[in-house]
Amino acid sequence: MELNEIIQQRSDKLDAFRRAGMEPFGFRFERTGPISSVTQDFQEGRAVMLAGRLFARRRHGKVCFADLRDEQGRIQLCARKGEPLDEVAYDLFNKLDIGDIIGVEGVTFKTKTGEPTVRVDRFVLLAKSLRPLPEKWHGLKDVETRYRRRYIDLIANPQVREVFLQRSRLVAAVRAFLTDKGFLEVETPMMHPIAGGAAGRPFKTHHNEYDTDLFLRIAPELYLKRLIVGGFEKIFEINRSFRNEGVSTRHNPEFTMLELYQAYADVEDMMRITQDIFVHVAKGVFGRLDFTYQGLEIDLTPPWPRRSFAEAVKQGFDIDPDDDAAAMAAKLKERGRPVEERLTRSQIVRIVEEILTAEAPRQPVFFTDYFSILCPLAKNKKETPAISERFELYIAGMEVANAYSELNDPQEQRARLLQEIKDDAKCGRTLDEDFLEALETGMPPTGGLGIGIDRMAMIFLDQPSIRDVILFPLLRPDETHKDEGQDAT
């Protein structure tokens, strides 16, 4: 049957309910509790009022069975003609479609097979479903349909709903851990007058009242550092950030990060707290430290090893951190890695970084000793100024965390930002004078950390794509609005 015919049939039933005096889009329904409160400690003869979505109807003469589901459980319904539903009410119950949301009042009992069941004494229609649910959702070939119509995905696939329940618990565990450690949760602007705080192309918007262009934040870093200047010593934000760049299994233009800053701390402190956060989530939410991610066994038992980025680059390409761009390019070409002649040092090092991290161990590893030209907001090491006090955490070959000993010298910070703007003239950035004035006021030595919550969720929940842990990932415009995957039930 065509979709339009099914919708028309359901619309006709909607009219039939109205003619019978039953509003097909009802109002508040007082429940005795969720379905799980009845099924977990099931008692026969209990009067209950439950609500949920209707599934899997089965008719046997004057008896109609159906499944009722809510967020927390499922229970069988039994409607009998004349006991106590009269003929009109029983006929209306049989007009219900799979997908309808109803409220039920009745008494619990067990069938001959021992199935917990509610005898339907009264029911009300709370929302008539005009579109059919998919019959075989797992057979969809177009996975984007699942992301585009996440509401259907959540209805049809309990395991998908469980992923997002677990993600919520993961975020709650991170928040609870930091609060227990004395960190203060704060909120900073999502619209910035100047794009900054991280590398990346910003999204632009415009404020009509002030007639000014604004940018969706790339990162909250510069505002959080202002708060450190203001006297807060341990702060964090679980934030939404935006980068106007490519989409892949590991990148979504809108994403969730944890950023935290601690005064009088450094990159070593950040390494410890990063490890502690992951271990706390692993034990507290999942009850274990060993996981399987896409067939790979991952062990989060600390301590996690370190690997020097600078040493790996030296061994692999004979590149030193103070080489100029021409020298770096020549050394890469000698080893069969062609690059363009006019690339900057930082662009070349990023190419090297991609090569090395593609070969990163799948077990947790801290990459340390990054070239300073890649870290304009981080302190340099005293003994080797061309190396920054920075690490990146990789798990399952993915970067999931990034941390610095934060640069708090305003003069050096100004010089670095000016050089960054000069090196990348196409970025269109300007100097954030307000941030520099904040540094000139005085920021204590500070450790800063960013953790990608989406990627963290991917690993813990064994999901192959970032889209599988974001409820509504960004997709291409749905021009055709196809009804692919909507089969009659």
Please indicate, yes or no, whether residues 110 and 218 belong to a single structural domain of this protein: no
Spacing of C-alpha 213 from chain mean position: 28
Edge-to-edge strand list for the sheet holding 390-395: 184-185, 234-242, 254-263, 446-452, 398-405, 390-395, 365-368, 306-308
Which residue's entry shows tokens 């935006």?
A: 242
pTM over 0.75: yes
Q: How far apart are CA 68 and CA 81, in angstroms?
A: 19
Q: How far apart are CA 277 and CA 273, in angstroms?
A: 6
pLDDT (tens digit, 9 = 90+) per residue, 164-219?
999 999 999 999 999 999 999 999 999 998 888 777 788 999 999 999 999 999 99
pLDDT above 50 for 489:
no
Is 132 inside a domain boundary?
no
Q: What is the pLDDT of residue 484?
A: 46
Please indicate, yes or no, whether residues 122 and 162 belong to a single structural domain of this protein: no
Q: What is the pLDDT of residue 137?
A: 44
Of 109, 127, 145, which closes a domain? Answer: 127
Is 489 inside a domain boundary?
no
Question: What does the pLDDT average to over 287-300?
Answer: 95
Q: How far apart are CA 3 and CA 363, in angstroms?
A: 49
Q: How far apart are CA 342 and CA 339, in angstroms?
A: 9
Is 405 inside a domain boundary?
yes
Is 82 inside a domain boundary?
yes
DSSP letter, residue 344: -
pLDDT above 60 for 433:
yes
* 46's tokens: 């209990």
Q: How far apart are CA 91 and CA 116, in angstroms?
A: 24
Q: What is the pLDDT of residue 358?
A: 75
Please indicate, yes or no, whether residues 290 and 394 belong to a single structural domain of this protein: yes
pLDDT (tens digit, 9 = 90+) per residue, 243-266?
998 888 888 999 999 999 999 999
CATH of the domain at 258: 3.30.930.10
| Amino acid letter, 70 | D
pLDDT (tens digit, 9 = 90+) per residue, 45-90?
999 999 999 998 888 888 999 999 999 899 999 999 987 899 999 9
Please indicate, yes or no, whether residues 27 and 106 belong to a single structural domain of this protein: yes
Please indicate, yes or no, whether residues 259 and 183 belong to a single structural domain of this protein: yes
Number of domains in the chain: 2
Please indicate, yes or no, whether residues 209 and 272 belong to a single structural domain of this protein: yes
Spacing of C-alpha 408 from chain mean position: 32
Is 37 inside a domain boundary?
yes
Residue 10 CA neighbour count, 13 Å, CB half:
22
Q: What is the pLDDT of residue 426?
A: 61
* 428's tokens: 């269109």
Please indicate, yes or no, whether residues 101 and 175 belong to a single structural domain of this protein: no
3-state secondary structure (DSSP) of residue 119: strand
Range of the domain at 10: 3-127
Pairing of strands 74-80, 116-127: parallel
Is 93 inside a domain boundary?
yes
Beta bridge partners of 258: 238, 451
- Range of weakest confidence among 338-342, 386-390, 430-434: 338-342
pLDDT above 50 for 30:
yes
Is 345 inside a domain boundary?
no
pLDDT (tens digit, 9 = 90+) per residue, 120-142?
999 999 999 999 987 654 444 46
CB 362 within 8 A of CB 397: yes
Q: What is the pLDDT of residue 140?
A: 41
Please indicate, yes or no, whether residues 298 and 177 belong to a single structural domain of this protein: yes
Please indicate, yes or no, whether residues 81 and 169 belong to a single structural domain of this protein: no
250 vs 271, which has greater pLDDT? 271
Please indicate, yes or no, whether residues 55 and 161 belong to a single structural domain of this protein: no
Q: What is the pLDDT of residue 139?
A: 40
Please indicate, yes or no, whether residues 369 and 238 belong to a single structural domain of this protein: yes
CATH of the domain at 49: 2.40.50.140
Is 479 inside a domain boundary?
no
Please indicate, yes or no, whether residues 102 and 188 belong to a single structural domain of this protein: no
Question: What does the pLDDT average to over 335-351?
Answer: 79
Question: What does the pLDDT average to over 90-98?
Answer: 94
Of 74, 109, 127, which closes a domain? Answer: 127
pLDDT above 80 for 427:
no
Q: How far apart are CA 471 and CA 161, in angstroms?
A: 10
